[in-house]
Structure 1
Amino acid sequence: MRSPPAPHLGRDRPLDAVWPIIYIDALWVKIRSGSVASKPVYLAVGVDMDGRKDVLGLWVGSEGEGATPWMAVLSELRNRGIEDVCIVVCDGLKGLPDAVTATWPKATVQTCVIHLTRAPLRLSSARDHPKLVPALKGVYAAPTEAAAEQALDAFEASELGERYPASVRTWRSAWPESTPCLAFAPAIRTVVYSTNMVESINSRLRKATRNRGRFPLEQAALKVLCLAVRERIDLEARDADRVAPHWKEALNQFSLFFGGRLGVQ
């Protein structure tokens, strides 16, 4: 059994009881522990009622990324005060949706469609990518879930679908968690259908770790990462675009869709 990840030093910070969206993702750093090994760093970023991003925590895992250490991370967030989350956006890691709903039973799990799109591209020839990308966009950008299913059926029946059946299986296996975003207006789907909201943070973190190559201790890695997060927050504090795009529209739809759990009047 995988051991839970070691939490960072800010784990005692209390958090709001209800969050509209939390994004969870992992990046990898090289840490010397006898020998040099790549370890996952778990990242949780919340979007609060004002549409502003807040890094909720960083944790270094002891082994490969898995649902069990993610369960420990989510449980810690719950113990720090988070009682309910409307939408949790994550990658397609096996067992992760179950970990989310075990922590917050009312949460809607949204698999990042960007991850779902990248997976078929990794399994296919580069010469077919110009055709694959619009075909897959026809699925996640469909106006309704029924239209998305028709688009996936059409892709499966096409020459590309016959050539790459694993791409179809990837989407079908993740269907319950990939389609919740289709309940919202197209203008705000980008808020909920991908982890792109945290990509700017991840990019800064990866740059900070890449410049140092490897770390002698987990705490050294966390110190560098926390400093990089703080620099990013300082930049965003001066950035008028720090609020998520179309946030007010999104919040209004969330308040209707989630039955008043956000307390918006």
Structure 2
Amino acid sequence: MAAVLSADQIDALVTAAEDLGQGRHGVEELLSQMTKAVLERAMETELSDHLGYEAGDPAGHGTGNSRNGKTTKSVQTLQGPVQITVPRDRNGSFEPVIVPKRARRLGKVEDMILSLYARGMTTRDIGSHLQEIYGSKVSAATISRVTDVVADEVAQWQSRPLESVYPIVYIDAIWLKIRDGGVVANKACHVAVGVDLEGRKQVLGLWLGATEGAKFWANVLTEIRNRGVRDILILCCDGLTGLPAAVNSIYPETVVQTCVVHLLRSAMKYASYSDRKTM
């Protein structure tokens, strides 16, 4: 693949960055100006495609639509806030794609917010991080709106309808560190994975609990049944006390199979460390 910029062009950019400021500041200012220039040039091209003629082309006379000045707005990018001018058409039918109408954040700022949120950062911490690293000031209310969308999507996924029959369902709990109310604590994340009639694995859901117990799993299986699962042929689980009875109280005909990995792990407790590899 050919290089996007030649060595001479890169040298020119380095010189321009040095003229704009010392060290990182000069580079950031150059990137900001380049972002502004590229966005404005792209929107001018989009408007020409929309109108069907270039600026100043006599072919545009009598077409019923024309350029109608520009508006200025600020957008947040990963290079920080950038002031751009957005071209308009007289009929108001131009809808730019690269910078959509009413969009105030570009460059996957939303993705950055969600990535930080998934790592357990609070809305205040996320706002401070974006301000410090990218110079982008994003309000706590905006961050909350972005994360609320994800919360809604998660809720819809967690309550989605399931297949009526799963030949095999695997259940187990994973202990994770979860931030809750500003405090990080160990919680059991209960995972149910179903194998459908075509052999494809599906994560049926994730449920957080303070501990792993047969009673909690009974509630999980009740929810799965309420979401449309009428029969499970084989349910694979560990040797948790009371779990087979809890499973059969919801699905009486289901065969409960102890997981072989758990069985081997438990059997190794009774062997000396030197014999485990041979076993």
Q: TM-score range by the shorter chain?
A: 0.3 to 0.5
Higher helix share: 1
Please say which structure displays the higher CA radius of gyration.
2
| Structure of greater relative contact order (alpha carbons < 8 Å, 6+ residues apart) | 1
